[in-house]
Amino acid sequence: MRVAIMGAAGRMGKVLIEAVDGTEGLELGAAIVEPGSSLVGADAGEMTGIGKTGVKMVDSLDQVRDDFEVLIDFTFPDLTLENAEFCGKHDKRMVIGTTGMSDAEKQQLAVVAESVPVMFAPNMSVGVNVVLNLLRTAAATLGDDYDVEIIEAHHRHKKDAPSGTALRMGEVVADALGRDLKECAVYGREGFTGERTRKEIGFETIRAGDVVGDHTVLFATEGERIEVTHKASSRMTFAKGAMRAALWLQDKPAGLYDMQDVLNLKA
């Protein structure tokens, strides 16, 4: 199956090109960079250091319309939605890793997924997806006696906060506790905040240096605390998940899927 990589020169884009190269059953069909980029016309493989692939980078999806079956998009919300419209119209599958989407934007994606298969997940590592299941069990068992705080750290270039993964962790925990995250989330604290309310779920964000992605969910009560931590040390872990998702989507009907579907982790 031929893959197109959107945002090919980005942090994830480069690693995704490398991952396609090492995945049986997938081949690089196209690589798209920002309009006007000096990389247009250059070989995608040479840019990433894996050697010549014969795929020249372009700056518009329309130019490579016939060169791929699945688009992998790890960019930013506006662009991902624009690309999703394109994929819906031209019958292309999509693997989406972009985070920071609003509810309205996610709704737009769901509409596109009525006509083509779309896999959309804030974190494609196997580890994080296993952790989501551990969190569901932990929260359901510990119940309301334990305060929940979610702490995440990422590199200095990250634009959205809290991370998509932290928000998904919050949703899973809130759901297991019978709460609505929209009503109980508290984002950062400053000044005279008063005591913590029992049912709030707190989010703390760290942005520094080259941290690939750390997430900790803290469950604390009087007398003990539990910390569930995942640390990504290489972007290849996310890229490998994206490859798995692209292959998995191959024979799926139209619909909106997530990484838990791909990994068969849904209860």
Ligand X SMILES: NC(=O)C1=CN([C@@H]2O[C@H](COP(=O)(O)OP(=O)(O)OC[C@H]3O[C@@H](n4cnc5c(N)ncnc54)[C@H](OP(=O)(O)O)[C@@H]3O)[C@@H](O)[C@H]2O)C=CC1
Q: Residues near 156 by Cβ (< 8 Å), separated by ≥ 6?
A: 207, 208, 209, 210
Selection from ligand X, ligand LZUJQKHR, none that 75 binds (CB < 5 to 8 A by kind) is ligand X
Name the one residue in this structure whose structure tokens are 């490579």: 64
Write the interaction track for ligand X spanning residues 97-116; mark x where CB under 6 A is met and - where it is not: xxxx----------------
Selection from ligand LZUJQKHR, ligand X, none that 33 binds (CB < 5 to 8 A by kind) is ligand X
Strand-by-strand arrangement of the 224-232 sheet: 185-187, 201-207, 147-154, 213-221, 224-232
| Residue in the shown chain whose Cβ atom is closest to ligand LZUJQKHR | 213
- Asked about 157 being catalytic, the answer comes back as no
Name the one residue in this structure whose structure tokens are 């991370």: 163
Residue 11 sits in the site that holds ligand X (CB under 6 A): yes
Residue 122 sits in the site that holds ligand LZUJQKHR (CB under 6 A): yes
Residue 129 sits in the site that holds ligand X (CB under 6 A): no
Selection from ligand LZUJQKHR, ligand X, none that 154 binds (CB < 5 to 8 A by kind) is ligand LZUJQKHR
Residue 10 sits in the site that holds ligand X (CB under 6 A): yes
Give one DSSP letter per residue of 14-55, joined into a string: HHHHHHHHT-TT-EEEEEE--TT-TTTTSBHHHHHTS---S-
Q: Residues near 237 by Cβ (< 8 Å), separated by ≥ 6?
A: 125, 126, 127
- Asked about 230 being catalytic, the answer comes back as no
Q: 10 Å Cβ neighbour count for 136?
A: 15
**Identity at 111, one-letter amino acid code:** V
Closest among 172, 196, 154 to 162, alpha carbons compared: 154
Catalytic residue among 92, 154, 230, 240: 154
**Closest separation in Å from C-beta 41 to ligand LZUJQKHR:** 28
SS3 annotation, 242-266: HHHHHHHHCCCCCEEECHHHHCCCC
Among 45, 164, 202, 241, binds ligand LZUJQKHR (CB under 6 A): 164
Selection from ligand X, ligand LZUJQKHR, none that 121 binds (CB < 5 to 8 A by kind) is ligand X
| Residue in the shown chain whose Cβ atom is closest to ligand X | 10
Query: Rounded to the nearest 5°, which phi and psi values hold at 155?
Result: -60, 160
Annotated catalytic residues are 154, 158
Give the residues lining the site for ligand LZUJQKHR (CB under 6 A): 99, 122-123, 154, 158, 163-165, 213
Give the residues lining the site for ligand X (CB under 6 A): 6-7, 9-13, 32-35, 74-76, 79, 97-100, 121-124, 164, 238
